[in-house]
C-alpha cells in the first residue's frame, strides 16, 4: 500500500475514527508528551534569548530582546519543537505499537474478526496526534516566553516593562493562531507517517526498529519542509 492509498483509507468518511478510543489516545498523548515539551520549550526560549541578546549587542544594535524572542519563539521555535516532540514521543510509540501488532499478526486477526483496523486502531491514534498538537503548543508557547522573560529580566538585566512592551509590539494573536495551524499540520504529518511506517513494518525486533527510524526521520524532514512553506505563506 502506498502512502497516498494509506492516507486515503485513513481519511475515508465511510470509516471515521471511533470516538471513545480517540479520546483515550488523545489524553494519553497529551499527558505523555507534556513534560518533554515543557522542558525543551523552556530551554529553547532561554537559549534563543541569550543568543539574540549576544548577537544584537555584538552587532551594535539596540537590544530589542522582547520583540526578537517573541517573534522567533512564537512563530518558529515553539511550533517546530512541539511537532518534533510529537514525532519523537507519541509518534515513535505509534510506529512501535502498530509494527509489533503487525508482526504478531494482530492486525490481520482484527480484520478476520470483521473489525476495521483503520477505524478502531489507526484512525484514533493518528487523530489523537492531530488533536493533541494545539494544547501542547499552548504549553510550549507559555514555557518558552516565560523562560525568555526570566532569562532577559533575571540574568541579562533587561527592565521588565521594556521586555513586555517589546514583546507585545510585534507579536500578537495572529502569530499564535498561525502557530496552531502549523502544529495541526505537523501532528497530521507525524501521525500519518508514523502509522504508515508501522503498518508496513517487516516482522521481528529488527523490523520494528527499522520502521521507527524511518518514521522518525521522514516525519522530521516533512515537518521542517512544511514549516518552511507555512512560514512563507503566513509571514510574507
Partner 1 sequence: MEWRETLRALRLAGSPQALLPVVVMMATIGGIAALQGVWVLQMFGADRLLSGMLAQVTVRDMAPTMSALMLAAQIGTAFAGELGAMQVTEEEAALRAMGVDPVRFLVVPRVVALTVVAPIAAGLGAVAALGSGYLGAVFVHGASAGPFLAGLAAQISPAAVAEAIWKAGIFGFLCGLLSCFHGMRARGGAEGVGRAVNAAIVQSIVVVAAAEAALTTVLLRVQS
For residue 108, give the C-alpha cell. 490481520
3-state helix, strand, coil split of the chain in percent (to 5) is 85, 0, 15
Residues whose CB falls within 8 Å of the CB of residue 28, separated by 6 or more in sequence, listed in order:
90, 128
Give whichever of 18 and 76 is closer to partner 1, judged by the CB atom. 76
Does the protein bind partner 1 through residue 100 (CB under 8 A)?
yes
- 193 binds partner 1, rule: CB under 8 A: no
92 touching partner 1, by CB under 8 A: yes
Site for partner 1 in 209-228 (CB under 8 A): 209-210, 212-213, 216-217, 220-221, 224-225, 227-228
Q: Of the ranges 15-23, 97-105, 108-116, 119-127, which one interacts with partner 1 (CB under 8 A)? A: 97-105
194 makes contact with partner 1 (CB under 8 A): no
CA distance 144 to 121: 34
Nearest distance in Å: CB 228, partner 1? 4
- Tell me how far, at minimum, the Cβ of 47 lies from partner 1, in Å: 5
In 3D space, the residue among 68, 41, 222 whose CA is nearest the CA of residue 138 turns out to be: 41
Residue 2 sits in the site that holds partner 1 (CB under 8 A): no
Does 36 help bind partner 1 (rule: CB under 8 A)? Answer: yes
Q: Is residue 204 a contact point for partner 1 (CB under 8 A)?
A: yes
Question: What is the DSSP track for 118-132?
Answer: IIIIIHHHHHHHHHH
Q: Is 157 in the site for partner 1 (CB under 8 A)?
A: no
- Closest distance to partner 1 from the beta carbon of 23 (Å): 22
Are 143 and 44 contacting, i.e. CB atoms less than 8 angstroms apart?
no
Q: Which helix (H) or strand (E) holds 219?
A: helix 204-234
- C-alpha to C-alpha distance for 212 and 35, rounded to whole angstroms: 22
| Contact by Cβ (8 Å): 91, 36 | no
* DSSP assigned state of 114: T
Residue 112 CA neighbour count, 13 Å, CB half:
5
Residue 208 binds partner 1, judged by CB under 8 A: yes
Q: Give the footprint of partner 1 on this chain (CB under 8 A).
A: 36, 39-40, 43-44, 46-47, 50-51, 54-55, 58-59, 61-62, 64, 67-68, 71-72, 75-76, 84-85, 88-89, 92-93, 95-97, 99-100, 103-104, 155, 170, 204-210, 212-213, 216-217, 220-221, 224-225, 227-228, 231-232, 235-236
Amino acid at each position: 500500500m502506498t502512502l497516498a492509498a494509506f492516507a486515503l483509507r485513513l481519511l475515508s468518511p465511510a470509516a471515521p475514527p471511533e470516538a471513545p478510543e480517540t479520546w483515550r489516545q488523545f489524553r494519553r498523548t497529551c499527558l505523555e508528551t507534556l513534560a518533554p515539551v515543557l522542558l525543551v520549550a523552556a530551554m529553547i526560549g532561554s537559549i534563543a534569548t541569550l543568543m539574540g541578546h549576544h548577537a544584537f549587542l555584538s552587532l551594535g544594535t539596540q537590544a530589542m530582546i522582547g520583540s526578537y524572542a517573541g517573534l522567533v519563539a512564537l512563530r518558529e521555535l515553539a511550533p517546530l519543537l512541539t511537532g518534533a516532540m510529537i514525532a519523537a514521543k507519541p509518534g515513535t510509540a505509534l510506529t512501535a505499537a502498530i509494527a509489533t501488532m503487525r508482526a504478531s499478526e494482530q492486525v490481520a486477526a482484527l480484520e478476520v474478526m470483521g473489525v476495521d483496523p483503520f477505524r478502531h486502531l489507526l484512525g484514533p491514534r493518528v487523530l489523537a496526534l492531530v488533536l493533541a498538537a494545539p494544547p501542547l503548543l499552548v504549553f510550549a508557547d507559555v514555557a518558552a516566553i516565560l523562560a525568555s522573560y526570566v532569562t532577559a529580566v533575571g540574568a541579562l538585566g533587561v527592565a521588565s516593562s521594556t521586555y513586555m512592551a517589546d514583546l507585545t509590539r510585534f507579536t500578537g494573536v495572529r502569530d499564535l493562531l498561525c502557530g496552531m495551524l502549523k502544529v495541526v499540520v505537523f501532528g497530521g504529518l507525524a501521525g500519518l507517517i508514523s502509522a504508515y511506517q508501522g503498518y508496513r513494518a517487516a516482522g521481528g525486533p529488527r523490523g520494528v526498529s527499522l520502521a521507527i527510524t524511518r518514521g522518525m526521520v521522514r516525519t522530521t524532514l516533512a515537518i521542517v519542509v512544511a514549516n518552511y512553506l507555512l512560514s512563507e505563506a503566513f509571514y510574507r
